[in-house]
Amino acid sequence: MGDKKEINLFFDIYDLAFDAAKPEIFNDIVEKVVAYLGASSCSLWINNPEIAGTETKLGYYNNGNDKDISQLDYGISCRTMASKEPNINKAVDGQKNKWFYISYPFGENDLTGCFTIWFEENLENDFRQSGEKIKGLAKLAVIIKNVVSHFLTYKRFDYKRIIQELSAAEKIQSSLVPTKKPDIPNVGIGARSLVANEVGGDYLDLIQLDNGKLGIAVGDAMGMGIPGAFVMLTARAIFRLLAKSKAEPEEILGQLNICLTPELIQQNMFISLFYGVYNPQNRNLKYAVAGHNPPIIFRRSNRKMEDLEGRGLVIGGKHQISYNSFNATLEKGDLMIIYTDGVKDIRNKSNKSFGAEGIKRVLSNYVEYDAEGISNCLAHALVKYCNNQLNDDASFIILKAE
């Protein structure tokens, strides 16, 4: 970046720092980065100094395209902050759009973060050939770190209020995990939620519906801590009303998206969600997915694993989204697990993730147990794998056809 435009960019960013009382300065900063580099979008993240183990998106700007990369951006930015190493690579989003991205870390000690810049894939060569722009990223990282530090120093934190909010939010979080399983014959159910810090953003729900059917919901709010818990509490209240309306799974996700998107956009958040209705009489599952991990089915007859189809956009990705429904049929003894990102993303001391393969391994090893026993075994395996050092909330529901 060593030209006049670069100097103007840095000057503009420092100029914005004088208005540190306004958090929206970070949206302005990343907008200037996007304009200078000819990128599609840019996000700015920090590891939240208020609540250990949580990430906060300080700023985001999109140049107007309607492609949803919010979930992809969150995952890559979190990995960059964890590794503290620049990450320049390609990625494909849930809609098969191809991207080239640069995720660059900044800071040290108590203040660390990253900015992640997204380009259309066809612009990769142009950027890589511009050596000055790549070198300028290190300078940009220092400047952004200084501006963020200035902002956090300026901001006064009321720690007593934060502690009170944490206490209240912990009670809220406990309501987002089922304490009592529905009494429905011909189906075994297990559920666990391992929380990475005081408050989590995962959501599990089991709803006894008419005609002996079971509603199953697993959700994950972007980011942990108080914001994630409060967002999921709101989502739960609306979701339960919709589920009782006897609407189809895809209709429920669509209505939930309409209700929540304005608030989620304002908070720079999104929710991934799976919702399915299981009929124990014919062992049929009808489900819809909003950007969530595909459930895994273990087939007892051939001891093979299947990833269910369906992905869809996250809740809060766009104002109007049409979701599709899918069907799956289980046989007696088959297992199904629906889980949040934290389950497969748990890492060991070698920084290797547990992965979907780890989940499948546990299911295969303990398939003869009931759903509750398998849930205990998986929870134990996860805690042991990361030496009880969770880097994200890890939640799951296991269903066993009987």
**pLDDT tens-digit map of 76-135:** 999 999 899 999 999 988 778 899 999 999 887 777 899 999 998 888 877 776 666 677
174 and 149 share one domain: no
196 and 341 share one domain: yes
221 and 82 share one domain: no
List the single range of 152-166, 254-268, 298-312, 373-387 with lowest mean pLDDT: 152-166
Tokens for 357? Answer: 């393969």
Residue 328 has pLDDT above 70, yes or no: yes
How many CB atoms are closer than 10 A to CB 282? Answer: 9
Range of the domain at 386: 170-401
Q: How sure is the predictor about 274, in pLDDT bands with cuts at 50, 70 and 90?
A: very high
Residue 163 lies in a domain: no
pLDDT of residue 267: 72
Closest CA to 278 of 162, 175, 189, 393: 189
d(CA 53, CA 55): 7
Regarding predicted confidence, which is higher, 328 or 319? Answer: 328
Distance from CA of residue 313 to its chain's centroid? 12
Q: Taking the model in full, what pTM does it have?
A: 0.61
- Is 346 exposed, middle or buried (CB count within 10 Å of its CB: 0-12, 13-18, 19+)? buried
User: CA-CA distances (angstroms) from residue 97 to 44, 91, 120, 269, 272?
Assistant: 22, 8, 9, 21, 19
269 and 328 share one domain: yes
- Side by side, the strands of the sheet bearing 202-208 are 202-208, 214-221, 271-279, 284-290, 326-329
260 and 235 share one domain: yes
Residue 285 has pLDDT above 90, yes or no: yes
Residue 159 lies in a domain: no
CATH number of the domain encompassing residue 26: 3.30.450.40
Residue 163 has pLDDT above 50, yes or no: no
125 and 190 share one domain: no
Regarding predicted confidence, which is higher, 229 or 169? Answer: 229
